[in-house]
Amino acid sequence: MDSHVMELPRVIQIGYGVIKEVGEFLSKFSPESVLIVSGPIVWARVSKVVEDAFKEKGLTYRCLQINDSTSKEVEVAEKTARVFKADLIVGLGGGRAVDVAKLAAYNCQSMFVSIPTSASHDGIASPFASIKGGNRPYSYTTKPPLGVLADVDLIAQAPQRLLAAGCGDLISKITAVRDWMLARDEKHEYYGNYAANLALMSAEIVLSEAKGIGRGNKEYVRDVVEALISAGVAAGIAGSSRPCSGAEHLFSHALDIIAPGIGLHGEKCGLGAIMMAKLHNLDWVKLRSALYDVNAPVNALKIGLDADQVAKALVLAPDIRPERYTILHKLRLSFEEAKMLAREVGVV
């Protein structure tokens, strides 16, 4: 096997109310000046605390508020960082802010710190950024954040739907790892046992705590956040998104094309995982009931997708990344077979 590079976050701080310590946390990286990329809703919620913490440490900063995560926002963030000579870019918010900041920091060769305010996907600590409107529908490989500051209080206040989506993203590691094994066995692809097990562990915590997570208990929210960070680290150890992303993710990306703007990433991955579990002869009923318990959708209609869209996405999925061998590449389902699969497991 060829050697590969593992890139990991250097400092991770997680706890209740830790957003107050953001000044001290960022001072660890001795930045000249900081660009904060955030969304308007999140910024309205935390700006007072963040500004006070920055002032206390004498940090120079500027905040860029974004509403979307397309290549346009990345460009604006890069330009702002250059004009402002920011050597540290912070993604403060949900998936969009973190992803835009991550790719912009990578392009500018600046340091990057992730401060998630919701637990909706595993991009919190991973080296991957999902940006819309690029030349490909899946994520960009960048670098993992140098630091992650996760305030469980803040994350627990985010809409419950986001947490459920994060659980969908985590449960999908079960089928992602199966696809990775399949590629190892049939295509002699590199397979990292440690990274695979780390990713599986992050899924298993959701399976075992699903009911508690569904009730929104803060202790469980913390476990989900730690699991999402850990899944991102698993990708860093693998040196690829393999342990975190299989056919269920390709299904989600296919839906991004077929039905843009409908459903959250983690919700679509969760639905995909139920179907891929069936194809891999895994206990799909168990996956489905865990998703149900965390209040994630187990039927596509619930998020506004119909049977035809689901079947079309299953057919298109392997073409999104032809080189990434998965169960859908092996089986190449027809439209009718795809529809039958979705019906059998109650996704449509």
The tokens for 133 are 């409107």
Residues found in the chain? 348
CB 269 → Zn ion: shortest distance, Å?
5
| Of residues 80 and 252, the one with the C-beta less far from Zn ion | 252
CB 185 → Zn ion: shortest distance, Å?
24
DSSP string across 177-202: HHHHHHHHHHH-----HHHHHHHHHH
User: 171: helix, coil or strand?
Assistant: helix
Q: How far apart are CA 322 and CA 125, in angstroms?
A: 26
| Of residues 121 and 288, the one with the C-beta less far from Zn ion | 121
Q: How far apart are CA 347 and CA 330, in angstroms?
A: 21
CB 231 → Zn ion: shortest distance, Å?
8
CB 203 → Zn ion: shortest distance, Å?
12
Note whether 152 and 14 are within 8 A (CB). yes
Phi/psi for 34 (5° steps) reads: -115, 135
| Of residues 89 and 170, the one with the C-beta less far from Zn ion | 170
Interacting residues with Zn ion (CB under 5 A): 169
Q: How far apart are CA 182 and CA 327, in angstroms?
A: 7
Q: Which residues pair with 61 in a beta bridge?
A: 34
| Of residues 87 and 169, the one with the C-beta less far from Zn ion | 169
**What are the distances in angstroms from CA 115 to CA 59, 97, 145?**
17, 9, 10
CB 127 → Zn ion: shortest distance, Å?
13
| Of residues 22 and 327, the one with the C-beta less far from Zn ion | 327
| Of residues 110 and 139, the one with the C-beta less far from Zn ion | 139
Ranked by CB distance to Zn ion, the top (closest) residue is: 169
CB 145 → Zn ion: shortest distance, Å?
16
